[in-house]
Structure 1
Amino acid sequence: MEKLGPVTAHEWRTLRSLNQAYVDLRHEWEAACVQTDGLMVKLEVTEGYADPDRRYRHHLAALNELYRPAAAYERQASALTWRYASAAVALGMAVLDRLIGDRPPLAPELVEELATHEPPLGTLKEACDASYERLIAARADDHYGTEAKARENLIALLGAAEYNVEHTDTGGRRLNAVEIDACQLSVVSPDDQDPFWDNLLKPMLSLAESIPYAIARWLDRHGA
């Protein structure tokens, strides 16, 4: 049986399940990236020497047919990785924040809600801003400012994503500030553009992976 102190078994096991999910999904996404990158290089080379007569461009057509589903799979793997990593950050930060603030455990319904859905942009902004700042302050061991820089980078990237959402027509109109905070990046990202979470994925994965260790350190320091 885990020695969890003030962390409930439901909180911890949910975080562990999310961790297992995004770790496996990350491997799939990275493998998909390698495949699509390799196919893109082959396409570029083939386009360079393809016969200008369209009757003799079978090689180029074959590679294009192979690239399209590979790129679609990469995006799907990226979207799933983003969903589970961002959910792990939202839940993990909520658990850490209530530990730091000496508040009661999260209600099981809230744990399920945070774990089951991609968090809206406003929730992610809060988790990576004020909650992350309180985590750094509580640790008091960021001597080289590494965590502070990571937090600043995430805030900047979230700001860039927010800008992209703000300047994208959704249903023929622009979203207002309240709607932007309530939106999910995987839902509002246009299919014909790089996804709005693209630059956020790796730093969000790094933060998600660090949270269970931060919780364990907090428990250790407080004798749990």
Structure 2
Amino acid sequence: MDLRHEWEAACVQTDGLMVKLEVTEGYTDPDRRYRHHLTALNELYRPADAYERHASALAWRYASAAAVLGMAVMDRLIGDRPPLAPELVEEMATHEPTLGTLKESCDAPYERLIAARADDHYGTEAKARENLLGLLGAAEYNVEHTDIGGRRLNPAEIEACQLSVVSPDDQDPFWDNLLKPMLSLAESVPYAIARWLDRQDA
């Protein structure tokens, strides 16, 4: 939640600066000598934009890790399997999952979570899952069609890649459209686990 708030605040700041830049560019004559107003705004925008991307990358890393960890815990509870080892919990909570792991977690485990909830009367969670899988597919397509290190990744490398590692610095990150739904999922899974435990009198 802290990372989400910082990222959203950074977005507000960069969006406001971008509007000011566009307005300033609109009335600044490109042939005029005095362009200090535009220069100053650009100097302010660049670090703000870099901070927004950094906050976005951190939010993505921890949200995707939390979602995968939450799904793993929920899946073990539903399947009545032993808990995860503390070392594995630490590893999963602090490292961004691979694209393949994300797809797997948002497929069958997510489907089982929805089935276990028994309160998705309007199909909201089912639609969220379908949307998330679609966005993951779009991210996979973008990775597949981008030169990374001077070449295209093969299918096995794409499955094993982390989106924050393979996203080029000079374009929108591959996780851009995924961040909000992944944050929502990461925030909702602990509540789903609590509801399930309550129904089981656990």
Please give the TM-score of this superposition, normalised by the length of structure 1: 0.88
Give distance in 2, aligned partners of 1:32 and 1:116.
22
Equivalent position of 1:191 in the other structure = 169
Query: What are the equivalent positions in structure 2 for 1:15-94 lying under 5 Å apart?
Result: 23-94=1-72
Q: Deviations over 1:60-108 (max 9, x none)?
A: 1111111111000000000001111111001000000011111001112
Shift of 1:180: 0.7
Other structure's SS at 1:97 match? helix
1:212 aligns with 2:190: yes
How far apart, in 2, do the equivalents of 1:68 and 1:54 lie?
A: 23
Query: Match of 1:170, as an amino acid?
Result: I
Find out whether 1:119 has 2:106 as its counterpart: no
Which secondary structure does the structure 1 equivalent of 2:69 belong to?
Answer: helix
Provide structure 2 residue ranges, at least 5 long, that are not aligned to the other structure: none
How far apart, CA to CA, are the structure 1 residues paired with 2:103 and 2:160? 11
1:157 aligned residue = 135
Structure 1 unaligned spans of 5+ = 1-22
Q: How does 1:92-131 map to 2 (within 5 A)?
A: 92-131=70-109
Tell me the TM-score normalised to structure 2 length.
0.98
Separation of aligned partners in 2, 1:141 and 1:38: 40
User: What's the CA shift for 1:189?
Assistant: 0.3
Where 1:56 maps in the other structure, the secondary structure is coil
Spell out, residue by residue over 1:166-202, the C-alpha distance to the aligned partner (whole angstroms, 9 max, x if none).
Answer: 1111111111111111110000000000000000000
SS of 2:122's equivalent? coil
Residue 139 (str. 1) matches residue 111 (str. 2): no
User: Which moves more between the two structures, 41-50 or 131-140?
Assistant: 131-140
Instruction: Tell me the equivalent position of 1:14.
Output: none
Question: Pairwise CA RMSD of aligned residues?
Answer: 0.9
Give the CA deviation at 1:52. 2.7
Identity of aligned residues (%): 89
Provide Cα deviations, 1:17-56, integer angstroms capped at 9, x if missing partner: xxxxxx1111111111011000000000001100232411
Runs (4 or more) in structure 1 with deviation over 6 Å come to: none
Q: Secondary structure at the match of 2:177?
A: helix
- AA in 2 matched with 1:171: G
